């Protein structure tokens, strides 16, 4: 498995970290009969993403040998990304275990996990801007904005669905507007970068329409839609599908370059 493994990692891991960040940022305590639901889904998605990512190195024993043999470049963005991802995963697991045992976890733990999760999202984008053989990837503003905002948009939509949050509420609605606006900017910049390097920008335009545009329209209509569950599902699907299309094309520029 080649770039597909990284695609799965950044999609699933990014969405999980984004959901965790908003879970801590938008509610101080987890209410309801299933306070463990968000951390459980976060850990499950991130675990699948990390398992997929390990297939990229082909041989785990060889990778471990490289670490202890001193042949790993710890200044590499990808290596730093892996390190931060591991820290976030451990914190999320601790949160899940504590929540399962005590029906809740310390808010300080969740805040630390959220901060590390956001750093992980940033590193997911930064990891690609030093791949100098691909000018599309090296476009730092486009790559970083599209990755970070895309993961946050998916994460916010997933959090709202799992936590049964109402988009009519001001904090959630404002957060949705902001992350989708930043995602729109990132996808526009990617479309320009694609065109500049001779690639068709149609996928990034499609991602722009499906993810931020549709999501913002649905959020704006939230007060007029009675079925809040269906609304949350629709926004979540739009966010994931739009980002998935745009990110797949991002990785594809490497395979055809």
| Predicted pLDDT of residue 81 | 78
Maximum distance among all alpha carbons in the chain? 61
Task: Summarize the confidence of residues 133-146 as an average pLDDT.
Answer: 93
The tokens for 106 are 């310390």
Task: Summarize the confidence of residues 77-87 as an average pLDDT.
Answer: 79
Secondary structure letter of residue 130 according to DSSP = T
The mean predicted confidence, pLDDT, of the chain is: 89
Measured distance CA(36)–CA(104) in Å, rounded: 8
Give the closest residue to 204 by CA, choosing from 216, 215, 188.
Answer: 188
Residues belonging to the chain: 257
Task: Determine whether domain 3-253 maps to CATH 1.20.1630.10.
Answer: yes
Query: Do residues 42 and 20 make contact, with C-beta atoms less than 8 angstroms apart?
Result: yes
Using one digit for the tens of pLDDT, what is the confidence trace for 30-48? 988 899 999 999 999 999 9
Q: Taking the domains of the chain in order of start, what are their residue ranges?
A: 3-253
Half-sphere exposure of 79 (CA within 13 A, CB side): 11
Measured distance CA(186)–CA(200) in Å, rounded: 16
First-residue to last-residue Cα distance in the chain: 18
Helix (H, G, I), strand (E, B) or coil at 138: coil
Give the closest residue to 77 by CA, choosing from 131, 147, 132.
Answer: 131
| Predicted pLDDT of residue 95 | 97
| Predicted pLDDT of residue 216 | 97
């Amino acid at each position: 498995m080649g770039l597909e493994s990284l695609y799965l990692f950044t999609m699933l891991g990014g969405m999980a970290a984004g959901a965790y960040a908003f879970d801590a940022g938008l509610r101080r305590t987890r209410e309801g009969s299933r306070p463990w639901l968000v951390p459980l889904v976060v850990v499950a998605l991130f675990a699948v993403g990390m398992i997929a990512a390990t297939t990229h190195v082909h041989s785990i024993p060889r990778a471990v040998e490289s670490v202890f043999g001193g042949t790993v470049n710890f200044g590499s963005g990808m290596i730093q990304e892996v390190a931060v991802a591991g820290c976030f995963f451990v914190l999320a697991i601790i949160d899940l275990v504590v929540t399962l045992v005590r029906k809740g976890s310390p808010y300080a733990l969740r805040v630390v996990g959220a901060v590390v999760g956001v750093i992980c999202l940033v590193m997911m984008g930064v990891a690609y801007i030093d791949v100098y053989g691909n000018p599309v990837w090296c476009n730092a503003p486009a790559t970083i904005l599209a990755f970070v905002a895309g993961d946050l948009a998916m994460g916010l939509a997933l959090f709202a669905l799992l936590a049964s949050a109402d988009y009519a509420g001001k904090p959630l609605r404002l957060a949705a507007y902001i992350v989708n606006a930043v995602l729109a900017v990132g996808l526009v910049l990617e479309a320009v970068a694609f065109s500049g390097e001779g690639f068709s920008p149609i996928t990034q335009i499609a991602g722009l329409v499906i993810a931020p545009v549709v999501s913002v329209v649905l959020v704006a209509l939230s007060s007029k839609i009675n079925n809040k569950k269906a609304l949350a599902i629709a926004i979540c699907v739009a966010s994931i599908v739009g980002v998935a299309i745009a990110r797949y094309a991002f990785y594809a520029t490497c395979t055809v370059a």
